[in-house]
Structure 1
Amino acid sequence: MVPLRPLGLGDIASASFATLGRHWKQLLGVMLAVLGLCLLAMALLAGIAVAAVYDHIEPVFDPPYGQDPAAEHLTPIIVAGVTLFVLLSAVGWLSMAMLTAVCPAVLQQAVLGRPTAFRSLWRTTLRRTPSVLGTLLLTGLIAGAPVLAAVAVWIPVMVVSVSGEDPSPGALLLLPLLLLPAVPVSVWLGTRLSLAPAVAVMEKAGPATALRRSAVLVKGDWWRIFGITLVGSMIAMSIAYMIQMPFQLIGTFGMIPLMAEGGEGAEGAVPATGVIVALAFCFLCVMVGGGVGQMFQIGYTQLFSNLLYVDQRIRRENLAQALLAELAAQSPGSGPVSTPAAPPANTPADPPATPPANTPADPPADSPADPLPDRPTDD
């Protein structure tokens, strides 16, 4: 599925589709499990928050006419809302980390042409989720720092301007002027660190090591990686939109009888059962289409980025020869093979000797089962 040679744009696009086509069941199973757990946790947290402040909801949102909500009722609502927002954000980040970790775990075996099972994929995803989560958080902080700095400078200026009698229009123009240099810097940093999740999974590296490795792999090829990543994102968005379209059309067709009868009902009449069913059907179609499209977009985009990581290692570290030698040295059915770790810094990577074609190479009796073990991790 993945040619063991330097990959072009067409190779990366076709290999992403081939990996999805072969491993879609395992990917879909893990993604559905993650999304199901995420929705369950969010619903549980929301229910706990509502139950905790239930007695304060009516005095705050439906106070007596002409009166403001009392502080004794308003404060618990605010505390519960902020706490719920933080917890829901944490659940969302954790879910995104798991969805990001599953694609490199699949690609690690797809590069070797080997199948993968749901159970092993789920175990790998759980083991690497903490490292991927740290990688995503650090990447977001580093890449978003220029934009945050621009906003932090603009807010005090805007507050001072609004507090005056005549707000200055220059305060409104200050933010675009600050974002003009900040956004390109953020894009540059984000692209430079874009391979870190793949490093965190395939090399079993910690967040800091993954960020450093990504910067090293991208160095000198920034424009190429940026362009290919942009094309991959556009392909994923286009196909995701095409996936959602049939579901939206089906939902719209289900609403046609409702729209035809919209002017016949009496004002204030209770909606008929058919109207409720049509609305529920339309909503369900839109939700299913959106969910399927988003899962495809996440999976394809991540595989696209992970293949860029494989391509950079093939170009710079002779990964293709290392994988061929490792496959030849491994007997069939000996278990999964991990992606070889990067060579030590400032040391040229010598490709292992490739065995002759059609001749199995047996490892020496005193050699380990995995001739290219992973580097020590800093997890």
Structure 2
Amino acid sequence: MSGHGSFPPPGALPGAAPSSAPPLVPPPPGPPLAGGHWHRAAHKPGAVPLRPLGVGDMYDATFKIIRFNPRATVGSAVLVASLAMALPLVVTGALTTVLDLTFDPGASEADVSGEQLAGLLGSFGSLLLGMVLMSFGMIFVTGMIAHVVMAATLGRLLSLGEAWAATEGKRWRLVGLAGLLFVATSAILVVYGLTWVPVVMAFEVWAAVVYGFVTVPLLIAGMFWFWVRVAYLPAAVLMLEDVGVLGAIGRGFALVGRHFWRTFGIALLTYVIAQIAGSMLAMPFSLVAQFAPVLAGTGATLVLVMVGFTALGTVVSAAFVAPFTTTVAVLQYVDLRMRKEAFDVELMTRAGLPAPTRPEAHQR
């Protein structure tokens, strides 16, 4: 898997042309430390230093990958989100024209005709369907970005087409993985919901309240555990290793291992950052959609404005959230392999760098 470009060397000016010179090789390692390990500078042929990564390393590499390869990261997310969000715009525009849709927010239910109600349901229903389709499309974006990140660790830039081609043969496995995890998550929630039936029917209200106080925190903790141990890494594993769906789940489970709390902390922090940033990016469009009745008054344009700006805000939010969260997750996969399997040595070999002759001091 090769790209048409490479990441600029450390210290290069942003936007400068990639250097054709071979990567600099650090000086030979110094004297061995206690335990036979050697202290040496980390190789960095691309966006990622080839050593166990800290949180700052991951976020720095994430923004570098997105910055220097926006087409294959942000571009893929925008393309998928735009195609999905085009559906509610087309449907709303058609309903506005064909049904002569009008909507007065101050009107009572009796004043809303069946035609208007059908138009509103169709319009906002298409918006919901568009979001579902976008979620489906983002599954493929996840697979593409996994290959983009792995190439970036070696100093290579994959184009959008190359990233898509790299997922060939595993795209429907990725869909199957997402479907399996969704079914498993839903089953856990359904089973827990069913446990409330005998509690509500057989016990007093106070007993049900106590049951809720005890089991809801346990459910939340269990869902976090399931997210990190079972659902967090399999997509990256499936894309970057020769395994099937179940093998990817088992492999991700094993990689997290005793690094649960560290993986959980970084994953949760990344999710919080992504949601805050995504909400801020979408806020201007959401405000326009919410204040559409004031801006557009009454009439057919009102629903179109509301749906249109909601769709646009969704696209803008997805342009940041999907690449950011996926890139960090793949970097956590790379980090765990470097910590547990000396994956950095393998990456050095792939990048054409001299592999270390002494074992590195990995955090086990």
Same fold (TM over 0.5): yes
* SS at 1:24 equivalent: coil
| Deviation of 1:184 (Å) | 1.2
In structure 2, C-alpha distance between the alignment counterparts of 1:37 and 1:239, rounded to whole Å: 22
Residue of structure 2 aligned with 1:313, choices 334, 337, 340:
337
Tell me if structure 2 keeps the 8 A contact 1:101–1:125: yes
- Corresponding residue number in structure 1 for 2:63: 17
**Cα deviations by residue, 1:352-372 (Å, 9 ceiling, x for unpaired):** x6289xxxxxxxxxxxxxxxx
Q: Report which of the two structures shows the higher radius of gyration computed on alpha carbons.
A: 1
- Corresponding residue number in structure 2 for 1:245: 283
Residue of structure 1 aligned with 2:327, choices 303, 307, 324:
303
What is the TM-score normalised by the length of structure 1?
0.61
| Deviation of 1:171 (Å) | 4.2
- Corresponding residue number in structure 2 for 1:347: none
In structure 2, C-alpha distance between the alignment counterparts of 1:23 and 1:207, rounded to whole Å: 29
Change (3 A) 1:245 1:33: closer
Tell me if structure 1 keeps the 8 A contact 2:89–2:308: no
Are 1:27 and 2:28 matched, yes or no? no
Equivalences for residues 321-332 of structure 1 within 5 A: 321-328=345-352
Are 1:138 and 2:196 matched, yes or no? no
Change (3 A) 1:281 1:89: closer
In structure 2, C-alpha distance between the alignment counterparts of 1:7 and 1:235, rounded to whole Å: 19
In structure 2, C-alpha distance between the alignment counterparts of 1:45 and 1:286, rounded to whole Å: 14
Change (3 A) 1:258 1:172: same
Change (3 A) 1:149 1:221: same
Tell me if structure 2 keeps the 8 A contact 1:142–1:189: no
Letter matched to residue 110 of structure 1: A
Residue of structure 1 aligned with 2:217, choices 157, 170, 180:
180
**Cα deviations by residue, 1:155-212 (Å, 9 ceiling, x for unpaired):** 3554x46xxxx98564465445433322212211211121111101111421111111
In structure 2, C-alpha distance between the alignment counterparts of 1:256 and 1:95, rounded to whole Å: 29
**Cα deviations by residue, 1:200-239 (Å, 9 ceiling, x for unpaired):** 1111421111111111110011001101111111221222
In structure 1, C-alpha distance between the alignment counterparts of 2:320 and 2:283, rounded to whole Å: 14
* SS at 1:26 equivalent: coil
Equivalences for residues 52-91 of structure 1 within 5 A: 91=133
Sequence identity (%): 25
Letter matched to residue 328 of structure 2: F
In structure 2, C-alpha distance between the alignment counterparts of 1:168 and 1:153, rounded to whole Å: 15
Are 1:207 and 2:214 matched, yes or no? no
**Cα deviations by residue, 1:18-74 (Å, 9 ceiling, x for unpaired):** 11111212223322343355457899999xxx9xxxxxxxxxxxxxxxxxxxxxxxx
In structure 1, C-alpha distance between the alignment counterparts of 2:209 and 2:91, rounded to whole Å: 39
- Corresponding residue number in structure 2 for 1:122: 164
In structure 2, C-alpha distance between the alignment counterparts of 1:43 and 1:155, rounded to whole Å: 42
Tell me if structure 2 keeps the 8 A contact 1:151–1:175: no
Change (3 A) 1:271 1:228: closer
| Deviation of 1:107 (Å) | 0.7
Change (3 A) 1:185 1:281: closer
| Deviation of 1:257 (Å) | 11
- Corresponding residue number in structure 1 for 2:311: 287
Runs of 5+ unmatched residues, structure 1: 51-83, 260-269, 330-352, 357-379
CA RMSD of aligned residues (A): 4.2
* SS at 1:3 equivalent: coil
- Corresponding residue number in structure 2 for 1:232: 270
Residue of structure 2 aligned with 1:109, choices 145, 151, 154:
151
Letter matched to residue 2 of structure 1: V
Letter matched to residue 296 of structure 1: F
Tell me if structure 1 keeps the 8 A contact 2:65–2:149: yes
In structure 2, C-alpha distance between the alignment counterparts of 1:125 and 1:91, rounded to whole Å: 19
Change (3 A) 1:26 1:220: same
- Corresponding residue number in structure 1 for 2:53: 7
Are 1:191 and 2:234 matched, yes or no? no
Higher relative contact order (CA 8 A, sep 6+): 2
What is the TM-score normalised by the length of structure 2?
0.64
Runs of 5+ unmatched residues, structure 2: 1-46, 96-125, 358-364
* SS at 1:328 equivalent: coil
Change (3 A) 1:258 1:221: closer
* SS at 2:243 equivalent: coil
In structure 2, C-alpha distance between the alignment counterparts of 1:247 and 1:285, rounded to whole Å: 5
